[in-house]
Amino acid sequence: MTNNKKRDEQVSAYANKTLIPIAERLTKEYNISPPLDPLLIPHIFTACQFWITVFDRTDAWCSLLSPKELLLARYYWDLDSYYTASHGSSLATKLGCGFLTQLANGVEAYLDGKSEAIAHLKNAHGYTMIILLSTMVHEKISLFYSIIYVYIFY
């Protein structure tokens, strides 16, 4: 999602406070010229994940960051996802609302005897889960139902 001013402000503030010091440390420690771009730090985390998953190795990308820095780099992606595909995105809430409306209409049609299908569930992966949970949070749907939803469908 582009043109998300709140996301840009939050990511910028996080990068200034957290990613710049890590980039400065790496630049100094490895004599990098020109200086390492702080926004590459989260990509080091991604490369670390890849090397662990594919090669079962932590001695390459992962070794560049301390355990705490790995968590800080990972948080960048959490922050980004929050504002692009989760509760911080109005689009996620709108998409989830449409899905929930379709689901409720399908259940109602079944209860009224107009359909043999109880419901049409269209969840395929985590992003659709995030969208629906975002809608539930925005619309203040009971946390109980949100938890039941995750339990049943995840």
pLDDT-derived band at 149, boundaries 50, 70, 90 = very low
> What is the mean predicted confidence (pLDDT) over 48-67?
93
Mean pLDDT of the chain, nearest integer: 80
How is residue 72 written in tokens? 């800080």
CA distance 50 to 48: 5
The pTM assigned to this predicted structure is 0.62
pLDDT in tens, 91-115: 766 766 777 777 778 888 888 888 8
Dump the DSSP string for 45-97: HHHHHHHHHHH---SSGGGGS-HHHHHHHHHHHHHHHHHHHSTT-HHHHHHHH
Q: Residue 46 has what pLDDT?
A: 93
The answer, yes or no, to whether the previous bond of 34 is cis (omega within 30 of 0) is yes
Q: Residue 150 has what pLDDT?
A: 46
pLDDT-derived band at 122, boundaries 50, 70, 90 = low
Whether 17 has a pLDDT exceeding 60, the answer reads: yes
pLDDT-derived band at 3, boundaries 50, 70, 90 = confident
